Amino acid sequence: MAEIQLRSISKRWGSFVGVHKFDLTIADREFLVLLGPSGCGKTTTMRMIAGLEDVTDGEIAIDGRVVNDLEPKDRDVAMVFQSYALYPNMNVYENIRFPLKVRGVDTSTHEEKVQRAARMVELTDFLHRKPAELSGGQRQRVALARAIVREPNVFLMDEPLSNLDAKLRVSTRAQIKNLSHELAVTTIYVTHDQIEAMTLADRVVVMKQGRVQQVGSPTEIYDNPANTFVASFIGSPAMNLIDGDMAAGRFTAPSTDIGGLDVPDGPVTLGFRAEDATLAADGAGDITAPIYTLELLGDATMITVRIADALVSVKADKNFRAEIGTPVGISVPPEICHLFDRQSGERLGETPPQTAMPGMAG
């Protein structure tokens, strides 16, 4: 079992706060993703768990044992970095085997362990090659195998796919997802890519400027963002956000008039997903504006209009065609709308769920 408890951990350098009072229990075998933009504290959090950064305040416990003062080698965690960190003079076999040699594992078991790890990442035909002879995706798989061979209690992965091209990211992401199911090991994965977070995670922690914004399953965070930051960070495209005013159940903004909403009067930000809205058949919708841009996606056509300073997108049929500047109407039913306080950005109405204990990976 490898349950991890982060008990109000903080990291400061002088007056700069890298992570602020991070509280979370990560369940045994859970696949947790730390998601956020550069500088949000996600990698610092992972490095504190690994023991590569000291904790300023709070405690980290693995299997109930506080590990703040333990060296990284004594925490039984394996880390996969953004850079592959392979030894160029060793072939793939020796790179994978290296952790076993360092830890003094019985040499009679090395062959079986290395071969097993290599099979899991489909590298058995490349064991004799040097890293320079491998593609970027193959090198990242060597790094994964080197972590797997240790059979740790916890996997820590710091943006492992960011150096790969788009096609390799998709295939390697699928491989990591399958590995998490096979290995059933507690995994913490850092990324700024919300697609990676949505496809891999049991739970996602969205961070901004060292603070946790929301914790939940990918579906919860997508369907019920806690604030405008989460709404604008999750989704491709991000949630449409329009500043306007509520009065007697109606939201009004330039070119926008949506009724049937139930929040107090005053300035608000209204949000909705592109795939939830539709083009109005008669051209007269809740939003009426000329087409700003039109993008063919293959399975759909993305239409974007400009509402004051906001760009607002809606998905149309893949066969929809029109010229830029053509007026269109967009239907936005009240049930698809999300409302946020315009000043704080916090969600209005129901509080989004926070998943306390997830299902297991896979």
- The answer to whether residues 14 and 80 belong to one domain is yes
Both tokens of residue 24? 């979370």
**Which domain CATH number covers 204?**
3.40.50.300
The answer to whether residue 357 is domain-embedded is: no
- The last residue of one of the domains, among 223, 250, 285, is 223
Does the structure show a pLDDT above 60 at 358?
Answer: no
Spatial neighbors of 206 by CB under 8 A, at least 6 apart, are 35, 36, 212, 213, 214, 215, 221, 229, 230, 233, 234
- Per-residue pLDDT at 357 exceeds 60: no
User: Coil, strand, or helix at residue 54?
Assistant: coil
* Whether residue 50 is found in the same domain as residue 111: yes
Statement to judge: residues 213 and 254 lie in one domain: no
pLDDT at 169: 82
Mean pLDDT of the chain: 91
Look at 97-101, 120-124, 238-242, 270-274 and tell me which has the smallest mean pLDDT. Answer: 120-124
pLDDT surpassing 90 at residue 137: no
**3-state DSSP helix/strand/coil percent for the chain, to nearest 5?**
25, 35, 40
Residues 342-349: what's their mean pLDDT? 94
How far, in Å, CA of 191 to CA of 31, rounded? 13
Domain with 255 in it: 238-341
Ranges of H-type helices in the chain: 42-50, 92-102, 110-120, 136-148, 166-183, 194-200, 218-223, 228-233
Percent of all residues in the chain with a pLDDT value above 70, rounded to a whole number: 96
Q: Quick one: pLDDT at residue 172?
A: 83
Our count of domains for the chain comes to 2
24 in a structural domain: yes
Write the Ramachandran bin of 190: left for phi over 0, alpha for psi from -120 to 50, otherwise beta. Answer: beta
DSSP 160-181: TTTTS-HHHHHHHHHHHHHHHH
Instruction: Assign residue 281 the CATH number of its domain.
Output: 2.40.50.140
pLDDT digits (tens, 9 = 90+) for 213-261: 999 999 999 999 999 999 999 998 899 999 999 999 999 999 999 999 9
Within-domain flag for 8: yes
pLDDT band for position 2 (50/70/90)? Answer: confident
Q: Are residues 208 and 264 in the same domain?
A: no
Strands 240-247 and 338-341: unpaired
pLDDT at 352: 54
The answer on pLDDT for 359 being more than 60 is no
Tens digits of residue pLDDT in 278-334: 998 777 899 999 999 999 999 999 999 999 889 999 999 999 999 999 999 999 999
Please give the single-letter amino acid code of residue 87.
Y
Q: With respect to residue 349, please indicate whether it lies within any of the assigned structural domains.
A: no
The pLDDT assigned to 1 comes to 60
pLDDT tens for residues 169-187? 888 888 888 888 888 899 9
Quick check: 266 and 252 in contact, CB under 8 A? Answer: no
Mean pLDDT of 345-355: 74
Per-residue pLDDT, 356: 58
Residue 360: pLDDT over 50: no
Same domain, 133 and 73: yes
pLDDT band at 28 (very low <50, low <70, confident <90, very high): very high
Specify the pLDDT at position 181: 86
Is 270 among the domain residues? yes
Q: Is the pLDDT of residue 44 over 80?
A: yes
* pLDDT at 362 (0 to 100): 38
Please indicate, yes or no, whether residues 188 and 292 belong to a single structural domain of this protein: no
| pLDDT value at 120 more than 60 | yes
Same domain, 335 and 216: no
So what's the pLDDT on residue 167?
82
Q: How confident is the model at residue 350 (pLDDT cuts 50, 70, 90)?
A: low
Q: Indicate whether 361 pLDDT > 50.
A: no
Residue 272 clears pLDDT 60, i.e. is over it: yes
Residues 209 and 277 in one domain: no
Instruction: State the pLDDT at residue 355.
Output: 58
